[in-house]
Every structure is written in structure tokens, then in C-alpha cells.
């Protein structure tokens, strides 16, 4: 049963106020035969709506087999379009309200991606490779930080030129056809 974006946002705001810090493990396949575990610590006090939304998506398996479709050395590694287009269509387009920026976009911080308009965060998030504090003024509010495994994020395959609309419509089939073996993946994400 699909949850409306408005109901999802209201539920997340309600739960966010009482949430404690939690950890998520991402089992990441860098390339065939090379994997690592990245552990992130999610801080609801930094980004309450973002932290609640992320937890819900992780718990439903939304990020399992999601691929890093935008990896730009010296900037960010972005992921979060579901491997299955049906799952993306059901949950990936639900926008959440912006949180004020309380932490800086520095190396190892994890932040939801957004468009250049208010309340446009949905499912995509990114890891900061470097100090990207210039993103703070644009409303990119970090919700988590890498506590172990940043070396695996540093090894992700550089990926640019992915047609995000095609990825949303066709899921990993699009990447398998046009970027075979060239895109790193979250094999599994779980709250620990």
C-alpha cells in the first residue's frame, strides 16, 4: 500500500523529535570481487526529518542493490535511486521537508541530495569526499557521518554521465546495459 508524501512527511516529523542516534551498515561492492562495509552514524538532532526518512527507507530495503550513479572525485559520491523501478515509483518520489543546516558538508558527512527548490529531498543521498561547505548555504543538511569504512567510499568507481531519468524508469537494467561492471553498488543497507 503506497503512503502519500504528506502522510509520510507527517509521520517522519512526529517520530523525528524522539529518535535517538542510530547506525546503518552499508555492504558496498566496489567492483566485482571487491567489497567493504561502511558504517554511518545517523544523528536526528542534525536533521530530524532527513534522519527519520532515511531510517524508514533503509528498513524497507529501498537502498539494497542501489548503485552509485554519480561519483565525482574531489566532490561527492551519490546514490539512492532504487534498483527496482516499481520500488522507486512507489517511494522514491516522496518529498520531505527541508531541515535547517546544523552541520557542515565536510569529508565523511552524509547528506540528502535536493533540487534547487524548497522541500525537494526524496531518496538520493551523497557522501562528501572533501570539504564542500559551499553546499551549506544551499540548504544541504547533513544527517549522518561515516564512522568506519570511508576508505571504501574513496575506492568507488568514478561514475558520471548516467541518465537519471532512464535509471528511475528502468532501474539497474539500464546500468547493466550501458555501464556494465562500471558502477559500484550498495549490496545491502541495514540498521544495526
Quickly state the pLDDT bin for 19 (edges 50, 70, 90).
confident
pLDDT at 8: 56
Q: Tell me the pLDDT of the chain averaged across its residues.
A: 93
Q: Which sign, positive or negative, has the C-alpha torsion 141, 91, 61, 192?
A: positive
User: DSSP letter string over the chain?
Assistant: -PPPHHHHHHHHHHHHTTPPPEEEEEEEEEETTEEEEEEEEE-TTT-HHHHHHHHHHHHTTTTTT-B--EEETTTEEEE---SSHHHIIIIIT--B------S---TTEEEE---SSTT-B-S-EEEESS--GGGGGGT--EEEEEEE-HHHHHTSPPB----HHHHHHHTHHHHHHHSTT-S-EEEEEEE-
pTM: 0.91
pLDDT at 9: 55
Cβ atoms within 10 Å, residue 192: 7
What is the per-residue pLDDT across 23-77, written as a single tens digit (0 to 9) for each? Answer: 999 999 999 999 999 999 999 999 999 999 999 999 999 999 999 999 999 999 9
Quickly state the pLDDT bin for 3 (edges 50, 70, 90).
low
Q: Of 126, 116, 139, 122, which is closest to residue 8 (Cα–Cα)?
A: 122
pLDDT at 116: 87
Amino acid at each position: 500500500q503506497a503512503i502519500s508524501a504528506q502522510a509520510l512527511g507527517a509521520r517522519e516529523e512526529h517520530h523525528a523529535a524522539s529518535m535517538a542516534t542510530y547506525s546503518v551498515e552499508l555492504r558496498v561492492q566496489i567492483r566485482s570481487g571487491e567489497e567493504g562495509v561502511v558504517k554511518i552514524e545517523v544523528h536526528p538532532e542534525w536533521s530530524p526529518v532527513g534522519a527519520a526518512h532515511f531510517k524508514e527507507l533503509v528498513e524497507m530495503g529501498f537502498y539494497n542493490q542501489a548503485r552509485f550513479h554519480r561519483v565525482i572525485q574531489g566532490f561527492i559520491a551519490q546514490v539512492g535511486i532504487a534498483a527496482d523501478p516499481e520500488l522507486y515509483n512507489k517511494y522514491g518520489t516522496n518529498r520531505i521537508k527541508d531541515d535547517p543546516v546544523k552541520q557542515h558538508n565536510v569529508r565523511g558527512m552524509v547528506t540528502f541530495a535536493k533540487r534547487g527548490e524548497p522541500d525537494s529531498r526524496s531518496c538520493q543521498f551523497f557522501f562528501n569526499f572533501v570539504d564542500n561547505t559551499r553546499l551549506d548555504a544551499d540548504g544541504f543538511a547533513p544527517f549522518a557521518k561515516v564512522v568506519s569504512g570511508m576508505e571504501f567510499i574513496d575506492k568507488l568507481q568514478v561514475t558520471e554521465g548516467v541518465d537519471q531519468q532512464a535509471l528511475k524508469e528502468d532501474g539497474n537494467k539500464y546500468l547493466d546495459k550501458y555501464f556494465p561492471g562500471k558502477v559500484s553498488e550498495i549490496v545491502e543497507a541495514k540498521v544495526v
